[in-house]
Chain A
Amino acid sequence: MKDYTNYNYEQFADDQMFIKWILNPDEQTDSHWTNFIEQHPDKKNDINIARKIILAYQAQEIPSSNAELQQLWMKIEAQRRQSKTKKLWYWAAASAVLLLLIGSSGLLYFQSGQRDIDWEAMNRDNTKSKLILGEKSVVEFDKQTVTIDYRTANCIKIDQDSTLNLQDNKSSKEMDEIVVPYGKRMQIFLQDGTNIWINSGTKLIFPRAFHKKNREVYLLGEAFFKVAKDASHPFLIHTPTQMVKVLGTSFNVKAYSDEKNEETVLVEGKVCFSGNANSQKFTTLIPGQKGIIAKSNQSVSVASVEVNNYISWIDGYLIFKNENTSEVIKQISRFFNVPIEASDNYNHATFSGKLDMNNGIDDVLTRLTKASSTRFFHKGNKIILIP
C-alpha cells in the first residue's frame, strides 16, 4: 500500500485510488480512505480540496440522454444487419430487447391533418435506403431490397428476422417515411395489411397505424400498391400533382419529379384519381387501364395497356413493347443508379422485349446493345452508348 502521509491536495487529486473513491467508491476504497482520514486528521484539508476539484470537474460533464444512446445503437444494429445477413437470427434476440424511445411531438402534425410534405427531388448521391421514424430516428440499409412489416402492433419487423419495438401506444400516431435511393428497392406491409413495392428513387410517407376515416399516404416516385380491402376506409395516395383513391385493389403509381407526366396503372379492383387543382373531379380506371395526368396543366387521359410491362420491376425485370429506346435507357439508368449517356440516334429506335435486371447493369446493356448492334463502355462512373 502506498504511503499517503506526505501527499498534498495535488497528489491526492491525481491518485488513481483516490479518484476512484470519489467517483466510483466501493467498499475497499471507502474503508481505506475513511481509515486514512481517521489516522491522519491533518490531511483532511488537502483531501477535501482534492475532492472538491474532482467533483466540480465531474459536475460539468453532461451525460448523453438515454434516447440518444438508444438511437445510435439502433443505427449500429441496422448497419450490422446489412453486413451480416446470414447471421441475422442470432441478432434478432439482441435487437428485440431494444426499446425505441419516441417522443410525441410528431403527433401534432398528424392530428392537425395534412403534414408538411417535403417534395424535394431525390438526391442521386444517396446510396442507402432509409426508414425515418417519426422524423426522429433513422435506420439505414445497404441491401438492394429490404422488406419492412408494420402489421404487428407496436413493433416493426425488418426482413422477417429483426424487430424494432416501439415504446408506447401513442407512437402509433406518428408518420414514418421511407426513402429509397436510385439503384435500390423496398417492400413494405402497412399496419392495415396493404403491401407496397417501392421502386428506385422514391419517397413514401405513411402513418404508423391508420386511425382516421381515410387511409392516407404520400408518394414521390414509383410504387406498386396491393391495398387491403376495407370499403369503409378509402385508401388515398397523394402525389405532388394528383390524388388516387382506392377501395381495395392493386395498381402502380408513377410520380417522379423528373418526368412530365404522372401515371397510374390499374391491375385489379377499382381506383379513381383527380388532379390536386381539381380535387372534386375524379377519373375512374378499370383493370388494364393507365391514367395519365400532365403536370403542366393537369390534363387527364386514359389508355389501355399491358399491365405486366408496368409492374415487372417488382420482380427485377423490365418489359417494353415498342418503347422509345431513350425511355428504356432512362429506366435502366434509374434502376441501377448509373448515369448513361447516349447519342440522339437512339430517339428514333424502339425496343421490345424483356430485360432481366438481376445480373447487373453490364449484363443488361450487353443484351441491349447486341439487339441494336451498338456498343457501350464505362467512363468514370458513367456509361456511354455509341452506335
Chain B
Amino acid sequence: MTNSQNLWKKFIEGDQQALTSIYFDHADALIQYGRKYTLNHEIIEDSVQEVFASLIRNRKNLCSPNNIRFYLLSAFRHCLIREINRSRKKLQISPSVDENEFSVSFNIESELSKEHISKKQNQLINNLLESLSPRQKEAIYLRYTNELSHGEISTLMNISEQVSRNLVSQAIKRMKEQLDLLHIDIECFVLFLHFMPVFSSKN
C-alpha cells in the first residue's frame, strides 16, 4: 500500500489530519489542471473546495481508489466543468465548455506572476506547447504532471485508450520538433530551471 493510500484509509477511518495531508499532496495538481480550463480563479477554488467538501460529506461511503490522484482529478474535472458551464449560463455567453477548450487559457503572461518567468522560459514554453492541440495538451499534462496511466487518462477524458496513446505520442513528437528548433542549449537551460527556487518544490 502506498503512502497516499495509507492516508486515505486513515481519513476514511476518521483521522481528519489525514485529509489535511491529502489536500496538501494533491491540491496544487488540481489547481494547475483547472488553470488550463479557465482563468477564473474563483471557479477553480470553488471546485477544489467542492471536491474536498464532498469527501468530508461522504467520508463513510467512500471507496479506496487505487490511484488517489486520478480519483481526485476525475472528481475535480467534473466539478470544474459544471461550474464553468454554470457561470457561462449566468453570463449568457457561449454554449457549454467542451473537451477542446483545454488550455485555451494557457497564456503564461497574463496568468502567472511574471517575476518567475524569464523571457527565454517564455519562449521555450510557448514554442513547446503552442503547436499542441488542446487534447494533446490535456493528455500530456495528465501523463507528465500526474503520471496517470493511459487507462486512467482515457477514463478521465472519455476517450479510448488507443486515442490516449496517440495523443501523447503526437505530443511527444511535436515537442521534440520544437526542442530541435530552439537554438539554446536545452540541457543547461533545463538544469538552470530546476535549480530555480520556484521550481524546486516540485518533488
Of A55-63, A199-207, A295-303, the one contacting chain B is A55-63
**Within 8 Å CB of B24, what residues of A?**
69, 73
Q: How far, in Å, is A198 (CB) from chain B's closest CB?
A: 25
Contacting B194 at CB < 8 Å: which of A59, A66, A97? A59
**Contact present for B175 and A73 (CB under 8 Å):** no
Q: Does A270 count as interface, using CB distance less than 8 angstroms?
A: no
**Contact present for A53 and B176 (CB under 8 Å):** yes
**Contact present for B176 and A90 (CB under 8 Å):** no
Interface string of A41-63 (1 = CB under 8 A from B): 00000000110111111111111
Of B70-78, B86-94, B121-129, the one contacting chain A is B121-129
Q: Does B179 count as interface, using CB distance less than 8 angstroms?
A: yes
Contacting B52 at CB < 8 Å: which of A14, A54, A76? A76
Interface size class of B (residues with CB under 8 A): 35 or more
Q: Does B112 count as interface, using CB distance less than 8 angstroms?
A: yes
| CB-based nearest A residue for B31 | A64
Q: Which of A9, A56, A69, A93 has the most CB of B within 10 A?
A: A56
**Contact present for B149 and A57 (CB under 8 Å):** no
Q: Does A75 count as interface, using CB distance less than 8 angstroms?
A: yes
Q: Does A23 count as interface, using CB distance less than 8 angstroms?
A: yes
Of A79-87, A232-240, A333-341, the one contacting chain B is A79-87
Q: How far, in Å, is B121 (CB) from chain A's closest CB?
A: 7
Q: How far, in angstroms, from A58 to B198 measured CA to CA in the complex?
A: 12
Interface string of A88-131 (1 = CB under 8 A from B): 00110110011000000000000000000000000000000000
Q: How far, in angstroms, from A61 to B141 measured CA to CA in the complex?
A: 9
Contacting A16 at CB < 8 Å: which of B53, B129, B147? B147
Contacting A72 at CB < 8 Å: which of B48, B121, B190, B203? B48
Given A10-B169, A80-B53, also A58-B176 (CB < 8 A): no
**Contact present for A73 and B27 (CB under 8 Å):** yes
Contacting B190 at CB < 8 Å: which of A49, A52, A66, A73? A52
**Contact present for A75 and B49 (CB under 8 Å):** yes
**Contact present for A59 and B179 (CB under 8 Å):** no
Interface size class of A (residues with CB under 8 A): 35 or more
Q: Does B10 count as interface, using CB distance less than 8 angstroms?
A: no
**Contact present for A61 and B186 (CB under 8 Å):** no
**Contact present for B201 and A63 (CB under 8 Å):** yes
**Contact present for A79 and B169 (CB under 8 Å):** no
**Within 8 Å CB of B48, what residues of A?**
72, 76
Q: Does A170 count as interface, using CB distance less than 8 angstroms?
A: no
**Contact present for A14 and B168 (CB under 8 Å):** yes
**Within 8 Å CB of A55, what residues of B?**
190, 193-194
Contacting A54 at CB < 8 Å: which of B32, B57, B116, B144? B144
Q: How far, in angstroms, from A56 to B172 measured CA to CA in the complex?
A: 11
22 A–B contacts, CB within 8 A, in A order: A10-B169, A10-B172, A10-B173, A13-B172, A14-B165, A16-B149, A19-B143, A53-B172, A56-B124, A59-B125, A61-B32, A61-B145, A61-B202, A63-B199, A66-B201, A68-B31, A69-B28, A76-B52, A83-B56, A94-B16, A97-B17, A97-B20
* A-B CB proximity, top 4 nearest: A60-B125, A59-B193, A55-B190, A13-B172
Which A residues are within 8 Å of any B CB, using their own CB? 9-10, 13-14, 16, 19-20, 23-24, 49-50, 52-64, 66, 68-69, 72-73, 75-76, 79-80, 83-84, 90-91, 93-94, 97-98
Beyond the given A14-B165, A59-B125, could you list 9 further A-B residue pairs with CB under 8 A, ordered by the A residue number? A9-B172, A24-B203, A56-B175, A57-B128, A63-B198, A72-B31, A72-B49, A73-B24, A94-B20
